Amino acid sequence: MNDDKFHDECGVFGIYGHSEAPVLTRLGLYALQHRGQESAGIAAADGERLSCVRAMGQVSEAFDERDLSTLKGHSGIGHVRYSTAGDSRIVNAQPLLIECAHGEIALCHNGNLVNAAELRSSLVRQGHIFQTSSDTEVVLHLYARSQATAPEDAIVESVTQVRGAFSLVLLTKDQLIAVRDPYGFRPLVLGTIGEATVVCSETCALDLIGASYVRDIEPGELLVIDKAGQRSYRPFPPAAPCHCVFEHVYFARPDSLVFGRSVNEVRTNFGRLLARETPAEADVVVPIPDSGICAAVGYAEESGLPMRMGLIRNHYVGRTFIAPQQEIRGFRVRVKLNPVRSILEGQRVVLVDDSIVRGTTSRKIVGMIRAAGASEIHMRISCPPTVSPCYYGIDTPRRDELIGATHSVEEIRDFVKSDSLAYLSLAGLRQAVGATSGDYCTSCYTGEYPVEGPKNAEAYMQMALKLPNQI
């Protein structure tokens, strides 16, 4: 089932000036687990040295008390990863930690660097040896070769050479540094807990540890946090904000504030506007859990139809499972979702989800609901059709694998076997997030990219999608 969903990117967390920094970092990663489930890692600093633990799997699997006991210090950074660039191996897990002329430094990255391949090739020709296939390592090589005397100046020199989407947290022995790209593609927020300072991908991580939200790290801002306080720099040329709208569509947790907006309220607005734009003669609204729930609430409120949980999700399925030798129709969907016949039988159903990628999972879900006795199925999607791949940190398939790029809405409806199908319009999407022109990146729906893509798109997609012949 997951193969037919957009995959989460990564989540980052950092804390400075707290006696239990490693423990709070792990807790913060629990809150950000939805942003990446392949690997997790924590680095800590005690004023003299950095220590680091990394492991494959989810946070609950990655660290035990023995691991945490090796992490000492008043500052820490952490990362949960889904590998949008670089394959899924422990060597690519973050934080990445190096020692160079500037001292030790650890780095966590959420996003994708569109010029990573060109920079990497240039550095390799100059004699640099890379240990990972991650685009993040490029930043560290640029940092290590900098002739700047102060570490923060070396960081400025390195980050101003990369292009794309990046929210970075970096840790030295005595500093925590947060950097956000000038377009603000990926979220990064600032908070406090007592006298300590926190930076992280979403406010839900602040909530879990009892921290207070202060503000967003601004697009193009580099924030240095140390014993002297906070220093904010603007090393990048000014750029128009271009936040990733898919954070609101799918990635972020509903209980977070992202780009200053409540994710829950935005997604509910998607549903309200979807109901206005594409009403349906129906009896009940059913969300595809968990991604379609907020939009389904909005659709039900606007339409006056009841919302019922006609599909139940099994939240206890691990990342992998063994399918039976004997083929069971729709097994890989049914292991995670099961229809409730008493809700669906004889009903005209509005089925709400956040997106359709290839259409194969939607087709199986529609078949399950039909088999449970639904008389009609009207599928409603709370964003426009996805027609283009993303180069800014979302693991989207190639264009020719996106059903929205190769089929009309009616052709998609016919493929998924629903009685009707409708998407939220681009204008509705922008209205729901409260966007003015240019505030949000909508390249996945328009094919119009705010930052020039990689020179070799095929090589980029090989790296990002973990295809053969990777860079």
Closest CA to 348 of 451, 420, 432, 296: 420
Q: Are 267 and 245 in contact (CB under 8 A)?
A: no
Q: Is the pLDDT of residue 310 over 70?
A: yes
Lowest pLDDT segment from 9-13, 266-270, 461-465:
461-465
Q: Residue 269: pLDDT band by 50, 70, 90 thresholds? A: very high
The residue annotated as part of the active site, out of 10, 52, 390, 441, is: 10
| DSSP string of 193-256, one letter each residue | ETTEEEEES-HHHHHHHT-EEEEEPPTT-EEEEETTEEEEE--SPP----EETHIIIIIS-TTS
pLDDT tens-place string over residues 210-262: 999 999 999 999 999 999 999 999 999 999 999 999 999 999 999 999 999 99
Phi, psi values for residue 184, rounded to 5°: 70, 35
93: enclosing H helix or E strand: none
User: Model confidence at 469, in pLDDT bands (50, 70, 90)?
Assistant: very low
- Span 370-410, pLDDT tens digits: 999 999 999 999 999 999 988 887 766 678 889 999 999 99
Q: Kindly state the average pLDDT of the residues 4-26.
A: 86
Spatial CB neighbours of 103, under 8 Å, sequence gap ≥ 6: 151, 172, 173
pLDDT value of position 470 = 36
Which pLDDT band holds residue 147 (cuts at 50, 70, 90)? very high
Write the CB contacts of 409 (distance below 8 Å, at least 6 apart in sequence). 385, 421, 422, 423
Composition of the chain by helix, strand, coil, percent to 5: 30, 25, 40
**325 pLDDT higher than 70:** no
**390 annotated active-site:** no
Q: Which two tokens stand for residue 30?
A: 């629990």
pLDDT of residue 159 exceeding 70, the answer is yes
Instruction: Provide Rg for the chain, Cα atoms.
Output: 23
Amino acid at 76: G
Minimum mean pLDDT range among 46-55, 83-92, 348-357, 378-387: 83-92
Whether the predicted model's global pTM rises above the 0.75 cut: yes
Domains parsed from the chain with CATH numbers: 2-240 (3.60.20.10), 257-449 (3.40.50.2020)
Identify the weakest region by mean pLDDT among 29-38, 55-64, 95-104, 289-298: 55-64
- What does the pLDDT read at residue 1? 40
